């Protein structure tokens, strides 16, 4: 039978009312690391998504890589997220927390002790961070993690995942895409280690399985972006790399979420080797992050290969997206000027359809 975006679908132990997920999107409005009232409203407005995946949330102090992003490593943060999950659940929605460790894509000024950001090896990103005063601060040469620190980092992910469940989330998604810490371990150019973690898939595997053990595989998803050069990442053979990762990940995870980089044949191949649930953010172009978003037509066209389709910009600008897709539009356009930081403008004030 032909799949529809409006089929119900099972993800882990959740029965979702449709196949439309909201992609994780950094919005930089957590001014003190907490989920604010504005964030409660923003996520609640989008509760008709089959699954909301939150913006990236740092699992530890050193996991933070940009200003004004939220955390899940102290009690006050857990309490603040409880209000978000309550509001989404009250409206019948489902929500996973994305756990995001930035690794080398970060700056010492984010940390109270001014320490260096960390990475698999001491290789800088070549990029920069925007400071609170709008200054461009070059990402420094990071400190290579020791084996002991790798174990601590995995423990931080596990603790944050437990916190997410305590905060009422339905599960967590581990951010292993877009050039952040887990992706740095998967890369050819940032992972120059000669210990066990020099094996590119090892860290992704260890983090994912440790989290799955702690909160249940059915509550654990992983976000991958095969072939994405974002944040200075090089992968010699993405198809081979991700084939080997998918071959060792436990298939009873909630899902694998792929951000596609203009290569449907790679997606189709990875679909064929992954027996579990596949969430796909479809992209026929090559730069899907930083403001290029898939359309409703691309979402439909992705269904043969995906169990769930994750969309970013359309959800950002259209809180009532399922209704709009059912009606063939029209769609509000996302405003790039208000993506990061600011107030309710370009955040909670996108109108629902007049219909």
Binding site for ligand PHB (CB under 6 A): 26, 56, 66, 177-178, 289-290
How near is the Cβ of 78 to ligand PHB at its closest, in Å? 22
We find the least distance from the C-beta atom of residue 231 to ligand PHB, in angstroms, to be 8
Q: Annotated catalytic residue: which of 42, 43, 180, 255?
A: 180
Residue 289 CB, shortest distance to ligand PHB, in Å, is 4
- Of residues 222 and 303, the one with the C-beta less far from ligand PHB: 222
Our CB check for ligand PHB shows the closer of 18 and 66 to be 66
Q: Up-side HSE of residue 275: CA atoms within 13 Å toward CB?
A: 6
Tell me how far apart the alpha carbons of residues 84 and 167 are, in angstroms, rounded to a whole number: 9
- Annotation marks residue 180 as catalytic: yes
Contact 97, 58 (CB under 8 A): no
Is beta strand 95-99 parallel, antiparallel or unpaired with respect to 51-57?
parallel
**Which CB sits closer to ligand PHB, 56 or 217?**
56
Q: Which residue lies nearer to ligand PHB by CB, 66 or 85?
A: 66
CA atoms within 13 A on the CB side of 71: 21
Alpha-carbon dihedral sign for residues 223, 228, 234, 238: positive
Burial call 104-126: b when 16+ CB within 10 Å, e when fewer: bbbbeebeeeeebbbbbbebbbe
d(CA 278, CA 309): 9
Output the smallest distance, CB 209 to ligand PHB, in A.
Answer: 22
d(CA 203, CA 186): 8
**Catalytic center residues:** 180
């Amino acid at each position: 039978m032909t799949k529809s975006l409006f089929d119900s679908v099972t993800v882990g132990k959740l029965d979702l009312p449709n196949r439309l997920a909201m992609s994780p999107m950094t919005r930089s409005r957590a001014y003190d690391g907490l989920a604010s009232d504005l964030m409660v409203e923003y996520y609640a407005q989008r509760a008709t998504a089959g699954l909301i995946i939150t913006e990236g949330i740092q699992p530890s102090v050193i996991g933070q890589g940009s200003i004004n992003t939220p955390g899940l490593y102290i009690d006050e943060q857990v309490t603040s997220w409880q209000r978000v999950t309550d509001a989404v659940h009250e409206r019948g929605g489902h929500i996973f927390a994305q756990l995001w460790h930035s690794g080398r894509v970060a700056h010492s000024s984010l940390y109270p002790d001014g320490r260096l950001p960390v990475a698999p090896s001491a290789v800088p990103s070549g990029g920069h961070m925007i400071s609170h005063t709008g200054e461009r601060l070059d990402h420094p040469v990071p400190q290579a993690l020791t084996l002991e620190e790798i174990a601590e980092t995995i423990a931080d992910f596990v603790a944050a995942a437990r916190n997410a469940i305590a905060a009422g989330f339905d599960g967590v998604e581990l951010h292993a895409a877009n050039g952040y810490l887990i992706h740095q371990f998967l890369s050819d150019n940032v992972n120059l280690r000669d210990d066990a973690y020099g094996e590119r898939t090892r860290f992704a595997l260890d983090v994912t399985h440790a989290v799955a053990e702690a909160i249940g595989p059915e509550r654990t998803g992983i976000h991958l972006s095969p072939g994405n050069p974002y944040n200075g990442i090089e992968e010699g053979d993405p198809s081979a790399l991700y084939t080997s990762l998918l071959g060792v990940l436990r298939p009873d995870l909630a899902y694998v979420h792929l951000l596609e980089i203009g290569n449907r044949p790679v997606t189709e191949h990875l679909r064929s080797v992954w027996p579990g649930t596949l969430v796909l953010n479809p992209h026929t172009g090559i730069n899907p992050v930083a403001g290029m978003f898939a359309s409703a037509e691309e979402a439909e066209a992705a269904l043969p290969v995906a169990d769930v389709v994750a969309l970013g910009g359309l959800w950002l600008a259209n809180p009532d997206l399922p209704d709009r897709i059912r009606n063939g539009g029209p769609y509000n356009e996302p405003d790039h000027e208000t993506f990061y930081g600011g107030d309710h403008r370009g955040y909670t004030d996108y109108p629902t359809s007049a219909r």
